[in-house]
Amino acid sequence: MQQLREDLCRMYLKIGSPLSTLHLRQTLHRLKVSEMQVAPFSPSRPNMEEKAKASAQEKEQQGEPLKKRLVVAVIGLSGAGKTSLINRLLDLPPVDPFDGGTKKCSVVDGEARGIPVRFIDSPGLQLGFHAQQTNRFKMIGAQSGLEWHM
């Protein structure tokens, strides 16, 4: 769990966000609460968040590569720009707007701001009642892809 704290702190540093950010503090607090729920009688280890922050800053200063990979499923309506967003974040060439879109889930690996990232690019969802069944199958495919690549 301590490694997860440290990796989260390093990701915040890589994107240029301060370690005092409310969102990070809340996430670290939730990790601590989860630990206490799983092992309520284990001896408490004070200042685990501060130790993780200090270790993260030290590793970033040393230029140590981040070993954790962020896995992100990109889901949205057809034509919303899911693949374009992924390509933009990974500095890949833009997609052809007349290509016809993503037909099935695909995996795109890369690095964004020094953070290893795996994107699960899903086919676009359709609007309307008639598209519910098709959308359901697309969501199941995206979920399976996400579980497979975690």
Residue in the block written with tokens 């098709």:
134
Query: What average pLDDT does this structure show over 95-108?
Result: 78
Boundary (domain end) residue, out of 37, 62, 87: 62
Query: What average pLDDT does this structure show over 92-120?
Result: 84
Query: Domain range spanning residue 34?
Result: 2-62
* Shared domain check, 113 and 43: no
Boundary (domain end) residue, out of 20, 35, 62: 62
Exposed / middle / buried, residue 123 (Cβ in 10 Å: 0-12, 13-18, 19+): buried
Does residue 149 have a pLDDT over 70? no
* Shared domain check, 31 and 96: no
| pLDDT given at position 150 | 63
| pLDDT given at position 9 | 92
**pLDDT tens by residue, 26-70:** 999 998 888 888 877 777 677 888 999 999 999 999 989 888 888
Boundary (domain end) residue, out of 32, 62, 92: 62
CA distances from 25 to 32, 51, 54 (A): 11, 13, 14
Does residue 109 have a pLDDT over 80? yes
CATH number at residue 90: 3.40.50.300
Q: Hey, is 77 helix, strand or coil? A: strand
* Shared domain check, 113 and 53: no
* Shared domain check, 126 and 108: yes
In the sheet that holds 106-112, the strands lie side by side as: 70-74, 115-121, 106-112
CA distances from 6 to 51, 70, 127, 137 (A): 8, 14, 41, 37
| pLDDT given at position 133 | 85
* Shared domain check, 98 and 48: no
DSSP letter string over 11-62?
HHHHTT--TT-HHHHHHHHHHHHHHHHHSTTSPP-TTHHHHHHHHHHHHHHH
* Shared domain check, 48 and 31: yes
Number of domains in the chain: 2
* Shared domain check, 57 and 8: yes
